[in-house]
Amino acid sequence: MKKILLPVLIFLFTQAVFGQTLQDSIATYFDEIKNATQKKQELWNKDLYGPILLINPNTRQLYSNVPDSAGSLIPLGKIYSGMLPENINFANTSVYWNGKVWAMIMLPLPADKQDRINLIAHELFHTVQPSLGFKLYDVPNNHLNDKQGRIYLRLELEALKKALQSLSISDMKNNLTNAFHFRKYRYSIYPGADSSENKLELNEGIAEYTGFTISNRSSEQAVTHFVNSIDEFLKNPTFVRSFPYQTIPAYGYLLYKTKKDWNKNISINTNLADYFIKAFNLYVPDDLEKSIDAISNRYDGQSIFSEETTREEKTKQLIAEYKYKFIEQPHFEISFENMNISFDTRNLMPIEDKGTVYPNIRVIDNWGTLTVKKESLLSSGWDKISVTNPEKVENNIVTGDGWTLELNNGYKVIKDENSGNFKIIKYNN
């Protein structure tokens, strides 16, 4: 009996210690962000601290800093705990649940304290941004998956890095001028890009600037943070949704040095590029072609052009494969009724006007829950999603190559004999 009891006691002790350690860590995280937002109330003339949900994505267990209105969360020392219902997607976002608007963040949080505060403050901003007059825009910028779009975003970011590292004001302004040369030239190639980029930057860029500012890094830490962040971003397969995390926070940080309240002077109608050009007192001519080639070489332009030319050829082949897989050959086409969706913004592939391929996506709808861990095509109108044909149907679980569908009662999968495609239909029990 002793030989059996001792391992059990050790296991229970370990679990108790681990649980207490996690509980204490999460309480510390909440104290950190509470103190940080209080110290930076002047940023928006508002304390951004509010309801927070920290989610374990493997178990859906959640931890919060305040109780929910429905009373489903259980007090656990200084914090609260519960389970996130299956009908709610998890992501780093803001979400309305059980009577409150929450900042939702997935565990584990960054090990670095300032990175943690940055992340949580970003999502807290999203919970209050409507009250500050900023709409929750979610605008894709598919031109940033094209060769030219990627080239001139990369060149802009390289110039921005040098501006951050400049040792004099004149050098900084020269690099900033070049950064906006690249940006304005990109806009001239893609009509409408100035509007679509600006909308996403007003949403995610301002939120990330808020998170960065509340993190309260030193000047040296700030430069290191931005340079490392840009370098990591440039390794992403796609830039179409995540670029504002790099642009607006860095421009805003440089402007903050001379104009601390600049963010209070912008609105949902502000064109951020034009605002920064004027605020930094930069000159960007209308005719950019004369200067763009010369300044490109200062930022490793030849290597960037070469790399993007190689990528373009690979991308064309990949797009052709996706078109065949999700459009031309028979596939499983699932129409939305009342969808809720979550996905990773760093790895998307726009397919002309057909939609966007999402390697990782989860959709909850009236018909059930679709979890994709390989590839799917979300239509440009966000009204349907396509995956490969089903391979196995067992009770209400339907599976295929890299995806699983859990069907709700009253729905079933059938094959359309005319098109060869599968689809979901309602039926009477």
Mean pLDDT by 10 residues, the chain (429 residues): 42 46 92 98 98 96 96 95 94 95 97 98 97 87 96 98 97 98 97 97 97 98 98 95 97 97 97 98 89 92 97 94 95 96 87 91 96 95 96 94 96 92 89
Looking only at the bridges linking them, the beta strands covering 377-379 and 355-357 are antiparallel
In 56-213, where do the E strands start and end?
Answer: 61-64, 74-76, 79-83, 93-97, 100-106
The predicted structure's pLDDT at residue 22: 84
The predicted structure's pLDDT at residue 320: 95
Tens-place pLDDT, residues 125-143 = 999 999 999 988 888 899 9
Token look-up 């960037």 returns 304
User: Contacts by 159-163 with C-beta closer than 8 Å and gap 24+?
Assistant: 159/295, 159/298, 159/299, 160/230, 160/246, 160/247, 160/250, 160/251, 161/226, 161/227, 161/230, 162/299, 163/250, 163/254
CA dihedral 282, 287, 289, 295 (to 10 degrees): -20
Burial 243-256 (b: 16+ CB within 10 A, else e): bbbbbbbbbbbbbb
Token pair recorded at residue 53 = 């949900």
Token pair recorded at residue 387 = 């995956």
C-alpha–C-alpha distance, residues 146 and 316, integer Å: 10
C-alpha–C-alpha distance, residues 121 and 108, integer Å: 16
Looking only at the bridges linking them, the beta strands covering 384-387 and 377-379 are antiparallel
> Residue 169 corresponds to which amino acid?
I
The predicted structure's pLDDT at residue 316: 94
Name 72's Cβ contacts closer than 8 Å, sequence gap at least 6.
Answer: 82, 98
User: What angle, 0 to 180 degrees and rounded to 10, lies between the N-to-C axes of helices 113-128 and 206-215?
Assistant: 140
Strand order in the sheet with 368-372: 340-343, 361-365, 368-372, 403-407, 397-400, 392-394
Token look-up 């997935």 returns 106
Tens-place pLDDT, residues 256-273 = 999 999 999 999 999 999
C-alpha–C-alpha distance, residues 202 and 210, integer Å: 12
Q: What secondary structure, in 3-state letters, does 359-390 show?
A: CCEEEEECCEEEEECCCCEEECCCCEEEECCC
Report how many helices (DSSP H) and strands (DSSP E) the chain contains, helices first: 11, 19
